Amino acid sequence: MKKKTGLWLFAALLAAVSVSIFLLDPPQDEPLYADIQPDSGKGSNTISYGLYEPDGQIIDNGTVITPGSGNRITKVLSLSHFLEVDRKYGLVVLEDFKQVPFTIDGKTQTFYTFDMTPNQTVNVKIETTVQEGAQELDYLVIPKPEYMVKDQDIEKASVLQEALPLRFPIHRRQNSALDYATPVRTFTSGPNDNVFISSKAEELKILFQSPDDEPAYLSVGNIQKQDVDYALVAFMNWEQVPVDDQHPVLYAKVKPGERIVYPLQFPDTQTEQSYQIFAFPKPFQVDRQDYPSQHLYGTLRTIVQP
């Protein structure tokens, strides 16, 4: 059997994840969007997801995608929900880390939601038109996008921390330098995390809730042994907003053992809204042979209040 690129998160909080899908009882005239995995299937307490060509051929994470006529890209997201609970999922598509509209069943939107019941599989045909020269296309599956952790339960919050990423290069980026944002603080000791929102630059204390006019700080850390580049994007109510009140995408370079800090300004809101930041390692360098380049890190969600 051909080995597939997989993303697996084995934990009680997050279901195991792979990039191979098993379609439950598909009709004979419908493509089989999957291979059977030994640790997947009914009763496995897993979520399996992946991207496919319309004819059923799997697209390994990091594979170069070639746009068709008119720069259109048509793919199928297949997701199998092998959990014993109902759950809602959301979908966001990013072109060069900027949220773009896409079309499903003739309707164009920038955020799409769907409900799943235990042991259900859905196949969603997604049509996207990219700009000439676009370099990376990312599909993000958001678990429980409507959920807000109001009781400050760290276990619940951790379940919502990560989105399920599918990252693909469209064209290889030339060796042009990224425009890195300048941090306001740099720490070389103390607590560290990949990406974290807090009320103070000096500490990593979870910010479950915050008024929209209160200052906050974004920490970006590196616990690896080499420099790491990140593309950072922010969402409020699943619409992209500037990370630092200016840039829709903020690029950061972090040295080994460092934690760099940027000031945050939450957008104004009239109602409580979920706010979350995602960090994409190795922006514009995603490759099917480089697992870290296919990954994604998320902050714990913050409820922004009027």
Q: Which pLDDT belongs to residue 32?
A: 56
Smallest CA-to-CA distance from 260 within 177, 204, 176, 210 is with: 204
Residue 245 Rama label (left phi>0; alpha psi -120 to 50; beta) = left
For 52-89, b where at least 16 C-beta lie within 10 A, e where not — what string?
Answer: beeebebbbbbbebebeeeeebebbbbbbbbbeeebeb
Residue 69's contacts (CB-CB under 8 Å, 6 or more residues apart) are: none
Q: Are the CB atoms for 261 and 185 separated by under 8 Å?
A: yes
Amino acid at 69: S
pLDDT of residue 17: 36
Whole-angstrom Cα distance, residue 111 to residue 95? 14
The confidence score (pLDDT) of residue 11 equals: 35
Phi, psi of 291 (to 5 degrees): -60, -45
- Per DSSP bridges, beta strands 297-298 and 302-305 are unpaired
How far is 103 from 106, CA to CA, in rounded Å?
6
List, for residues 214-271, the tens digit of each pLDDT value.
999 999 999 999 999 999 999 999 999 999 888 899 999 999 999 999 999 999 999 9
pLDDT of residue 8: 37
Find tokens 């409507």 and name the residue.
146
Q: Label residue 195 left, alpha or beta by phi (over 0 means left) and psi (-120 to 50 means alpha).
A: beta
Residue 98 and residue 79: Cα distance in Å, rounded? 23
pLDDT at residue 13, as a whole number: 32
With tokens 């009027």, the residue in question is 306
Whole-model pTM: value is 0.88
- Residue 28 has a pLDDT of 39
Note every long-range contact of 8-16, with CB atoms under 8 Å and residues 24 or more positions apart, other chains counting: 9/162, 13/155, 13/158, 13/159, 14/158, 14/159, 14/162, 15/45, 15/46, 15/47, 15/82, 15/83, 16/40, 16/44, 16/45, 16/46, 16/47
* pLDDT of amino acid 176: 66
Which residues, other chains included, contact 176 with Cβ-Cβ below 8 Å and sequence gap of 6+? none
Q: How many CB atoms lie within 10 A of CB 144?
A: 15
At 45 the pLDDT is 92
| Spatial CA neighbour of 285 closest among 156, 173, 179 | 173
Domains belonging to the chain, first-starting first, are 16-147 (2.60.40.10), 185-305 (2.60.40.10)
Helix intervals (H) in 90-240: 154-159
- The neighbouring-strand residues paired with 143 are 89
Mean pLDDT per 10-residue section of the chain, whose length is 306 residues: 37 35 40 60 92 96 96 98 97 98 99 98 98 96 97 94 96 77 97 97 97 97 96 98 92 98 96 98 96 97 98
